[in-house]
Amino acid sequence: MVELAVGDRRILARSDFPAFLDALNKLGYRVVGPTVRDGAIVYGPIDRVEDLPVGWTERQEAGKYRLERRGDEALFGYAVGPHSWKKYLFPAHERLWTASRKESRFVPAPEPADGPPLAFLGVRACELAAIALQDHVFAKAGDVAYATRRARALRIAVQCGQAGGTCFCVSTGTGPAVGPSHDLALTEILTAERHVFFVEVGSPMGARVLASVPLGPASVEDERTVEQIVARTSASMGRTMVVSGIRDLLVNHPEHPRWELAGQRCLACTNCTMACPTCFCQTTEEVPDLSGERVERWRRWDSCFNSAFSELHGTPIRKSTSSRYRQWMTHKLATWHDQFGSSGCVGCGRCITWCPVGIDITEEAAAIRASPPPQVVEERT
């Protein structure tokens, strides 16, 4: 068998997809990917092809999400669901360390990294971008647990064959074409005659996975088909957002009346921050056992929409919901640039779909752009 190299392209038949899953398992990976649960496509363990959302798609709009049957047997015929890969790389609730009391002293022991490495199956272009953004955030903080999980995880991208109703990755420049940073990138080709996956090797580990999988050659025609699929997805984005100059636009208009309007609708439910694949805010918890001799230190996802989030000496600094909405959106689209050198938004649309009142970040940004109040010129240092 010829060893594959980074950049190589092959065709994987739908009928050989089980062999692909087997290859991952044999290398010790636990495969996680899209699966239908509770009326949505979420991420969970994938043991068999049948665990994937075979023949399902979804309809997404602001505040609306509905599963629908496709007319075919596509494995990845949807856009994105409420989950993102951060639930694996940055678990919603995670033990940081454990300590036992020894006389008057205590000795903290870090949480060991255990469990099999994960293979993320079905990572969208926007999600690769989101993982890269969180990589940067956690690396800057030197977070060992994240880095350990991340270093072991395999990213199997699947390019979107269709855009969701709230998608705008074309605007944010994060999709729908998968960039070079992945282990394997798949594109599902499904016609009346043919159901195959166009596979591109993104890393030596990706090549290793494919070593034992039956593959066929990829033709120029196949490459053209993939390009057409991506072009079709690009052309069907449900949303757009003008991002040029957005950092200054938002930073310079903290008193724009639009914040107040969004604040009147927002329930501060935190859905957007939980669904967002880049939101990283967290809080810590001290969990003593009943004897008081042993404690566990945990972290948990937190949200800038919670009142306690900004609490100082017992009083929240951001009392109003509008100030919290402003904090979230300004951080995501504007101050993230100052902090990490890019936008924190990847255009996945989850915050729009999963907002119970349908607040739409693209609409809010457009409204602020459309009617900026008298310009305040910021002095930057």
Which C-beta is closer to other proteins: that of 21 or that of 266? 266
List the alpha helices (DSSP H) in 100-186: 125-141, 144-152, 169-172
Examine residue 98 and tell whether it contacts other proteins (CB under 8 A).
Answer: no
Q: Are 333 and 250 in contact (CB under 8 A)?
A: yes
CA distance 278 to 361: 15
Q: Are 349 and 164 in contact (CB under 8 A)?
A: yes
**Cross-strand partners of 123:** 157
Per CB under 8 A, contacts with other proteins among 245-284 are 251, 254-255, 280-284
Of 59-67, 137-145, 207-215, 359-367: span binding other proteins (CB under 8 A): 137-145
Distances (CA, A) of 49 to 18, 62, 107, 117, 201: 6, 31, 46, 20, 21
Q: Nearest-CA neighbor of 296 among 304, 306, 285, 307?
A: 285
Which C-beta is closer to other proteins: that of 39 or that of 254? 254
Residue from 173, 204, 288, 356 binding other proteins (CB under 8 A): 288
Which C-beta is closer to other proteins: that of 263 or that of 358? 263
Of 33-41, 44-52, 93-101, 237-245: span binding other proteins (CB under 8 A): 93-101
CB of 190 to other proteins, least distance (A): 33
CA distance 240 to 248: 19
CB of 70 to other proteins, least distance (A): 35
Taking residue 257's Cβ as centre, other Cβ atoms within 10 Å add up to 13
CB of 20 to other proteins, least distance (A): 24
**Cross-strand partners of 11:** 198, 216
Interface size with other proteins, residues (CB under 8 A): 61
Examine residue 375 and tell whether it contacts other proteins (CB under 8 A).
Answer: no
Examine residue 290 and tell whether it contacts other proteins (CB under 8 A).
Answer: no
CA distance 300 to 296: 13
C-alpha 26: how far from its chain's center? 27
Which C-beta is closer to other proteins: that of 203 or that of 236? 203
Of 49-57, 163-171, 235-243, 287-295: span binding other proteins (CB under 8 A): 287-295
Examine residue 22 and tell whether it contacts other proteins (CB under 8 A).
Answer: no
CA distance 38 to 352: 20
**Cross-strand partners of 59:** 66
Distances (CA, A) of 33 to 49, 80, 239, 277, 338: 10, 11, 25, 15, 33
Cis check for the bond before 176: say yes or no (omega within 30 of 0).
Answer: yes
Q: Are 31 and 41 in contact (CB under 8 A)?
A: no
Parallel/antiparallel/unpaired status of strands 216-217 and 195-201: unpaired
For the CA atoms of the chain, what is the radius of gyration?
A: 22
Parallel/antiparallel/unpaired status of strands 154-158 and 184-190: parallel
Residue from 92, 211, 231, 317 binding other proteins (CB under 8 A): 317
CB of 213 to other proteins, least distance (A): 24
Examine residue 139 and tell whether it contacts other proteins (CB under 8 A).
Answer: yes
CB of 252 to other proteins, least distance (A): 9
Of 14-22, 64-72, 212-220, 302-310: span binding other proteins (CB under 8 A): 302-310
Which C-beta is closer to other proteins: that of 217 or that of 292? 292
DSSP 113: P
Per CB under 8 A, contacts with other proteins among 143-162 are 143-145, 147-148, 150-151
Examine residue 104 and tell whether it contacts other proteins (CB under 8 A).
Answer: yes
Examine residue 182 and tell whether it contacts other proteins (CB under 8 A).
Answer: no
Examine residue 342 and tell whether it contacts other proteins (CB under 8 A).
Answer: no
CB of 203 to other proteins, least distance (A): 9
Which spans of this chain sit near other proteins (rule: CB under 8 A)?
96-97, 99, 101, 104-108, 110, 113, 135, 137-145, 147-148, 150-151, 251, 254-255, 280-284, 286, 288, 292, 295, 297, 302, 304, 309-314, 317-320, 323, 327, 331, 334-335, 338-339, 376, 378-379, 381
